[in-house]
């Protein structure tokens, strides 16, 4: 049985995702496609613009057979955490044979060469040296990467994220085979989000601006030193404390915090981690224990029953298909990981309820899987 894995945010689902699903199936004649998807919050430090049930429905309608949720700490982490969470989740199924990803180059060899370069101790040291010189992380990456060979330039974000996937495959000794697909010319997610927010229609759409009041409360009453939260450096913690009296709203506060060494994405992500109570010590425990401790399905196609049976026979971690019951199978630290996922989902539902005047959402523990 040939099963393709895809890692995606789908923030929102667009024609590029549809193209990847369609081409991966066409070129391999695979039996099934599994998508590991971000849940309620995403890498850029914001809630997903569209609720996850809608995104799952879009993926299944476009050809995915099974959609799983990436654990929160990985879904809203930097590229290395996101890649590790997605790859380890797919690996834990015991059935995925291939990993497909969109790419600016469409060159799997170049992606693999870049991954090998990133795995070098000299690369890590070069990045640290550039950071000490005051460069931002993307600029430090660009300087450390250099040119030559088939390595990819830093101005290709999808290729570099793909390299992070391949780096994780190498580190785990995975048998999953990577494939780069040249991206089709289509409107990007950033432009789509901007257009959707300008004309939302009847949808309840979220952005980082919807975190403003809750974020201020979290900053004022954070139970830990801010530097104990994931992605909050000592420098950023000091800046937050110094500038907090000038807090007016989310956007203006991010602009106040921005400097040469702190990118907007890093700032937004760090602020989200404070809001969601994502602590560095917890993330370190999750990673040390294997990064992923459960499979959390969000939806599947009825025709995927044979795939689900194979996963039940081959998976290396519990599958939480009946969340309220199956969560009892989890042991530390993965019980805490799931608690974080559930708290984040409840918070996101509350924000949607407040913004859209909607009735209280169904609890995550009782929400049924989406089946097409």
CATH of the domain at 296: 3.40.50.620
Distance between CA atoms of residues 142 and 128, nearest Å: 12
Q: What mean pLDDT do residues 277-298 have?
A: 97
Domain region containing 134: 3-189+287-371
Q: What is the pLDDT of residues 229-287, one digit of tens each?
A: 999 999 999 999 999 999 999 999 999 999 988 889 999 999 999 999 999 999 999 99
147 pLDDT higher than 60 = no
Closest CA to 58 of 126, 107, 11: 11
Does residue 161 sit in the same domain as residue 197? no
Does residue 323 sit in the same domain as residue 276? no
Does residue 207 sit in the same domain as residue 123? no
Q: What is the pLDDT of residues 96-113, one digit of tens each?
A: 999 999 999 999 998 998
Does residue 14 sit in the same domain as residue 149? yes
Does residue 345 sit in the same domain as residue 203? no
Q: At what angle do helices 234-243 and 250-257 cross, to 10 degrees?
A: 130
Does residue 218 sit in the same domain as residue 132? no
Who's near 8: CB < 8 A, 6+ residues apart?
A: 17, 35, 36, 37, 38, 59
Does residue 77 sit in the same domain as residue 165? yes
Distance between CA atoms of residues 318 and 136, nearest Å: 40
Count of domains observed in the chain: 2
What's 368's DSSP letter?
A: P
């Amino acid at each position: 049985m040939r099963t393709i894995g895809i890692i995606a945010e789908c923030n929102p689902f667009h024609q590029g995702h549809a193209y990847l699903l369609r081409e991966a199936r066409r070129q391999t004649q695979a039996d099934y496609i599994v998508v590991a998807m971000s849940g309620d919050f995403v890498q850029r430090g914001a809630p997903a613009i569209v609720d996850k049930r809608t995104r799952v429905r879009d993926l299944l309608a476009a050809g995915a057979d099974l959609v799983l949720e990436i654990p929160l700490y990985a879904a809203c982490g930097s590229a290395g955490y996101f890649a590790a969470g997605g790859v380890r989740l797919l690996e834990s199924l015991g059935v995925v044979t291939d990993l497909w990803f969109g790419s600016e180059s469409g060159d799997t060899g170049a992606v693999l060469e870049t991954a090998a370069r990133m795995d070098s101790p000299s690369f890590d040291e070069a990045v640290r040296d550039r950071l000490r010189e005051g460069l931002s992380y993307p600029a430090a990456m660009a300087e450390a990467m250099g040119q030559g060979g088939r390595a990819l330039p830093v101005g290709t974000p999808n290729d570099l994220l793909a390299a992070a996937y391949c780096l994780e495959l190498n580190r785990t000794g995975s048998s999953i085979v990577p494939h780069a697909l040249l991206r089709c010319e289509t409107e990007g997610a950033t432009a789509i989000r901007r257009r959707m927010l300008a004309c939302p229609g009847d949808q309840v759409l979220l952005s980082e601006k919807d975190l403003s009041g809750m974020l201020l409360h979290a900053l004022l009453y954070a139970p830990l030193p801010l530097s104990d939260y994931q992605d909050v450096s000592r420098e950023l913690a000091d800046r937050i404390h110094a500038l907090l009296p000038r807090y007016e709203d989310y956007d203006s506060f991010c602009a106040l915090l921005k400097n040469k060494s702190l990118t907007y994405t890093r700032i937004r992500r760090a602020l989200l981690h404070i809001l969601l109570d994502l602590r560095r010590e917890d993330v370190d425990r999750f990673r040390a224990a294997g990064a992923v401790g459960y499979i959390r399905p969000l939806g599947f196609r009825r025709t995927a029953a044979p795939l689900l049976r194979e996963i039940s026979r081959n998976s290396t971690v519990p599958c939480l298909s009946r969340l309220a019951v199956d969560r009892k199978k989890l042991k530390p630290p993965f019980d805490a990981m799931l608690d974080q996922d559930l708290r984040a989902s409840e918070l996101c539902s509350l924000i949607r309820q407040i913004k859209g005047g909607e009735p209280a959402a169904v609890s995550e523990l009782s929400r049924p899987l989406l089946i097409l």
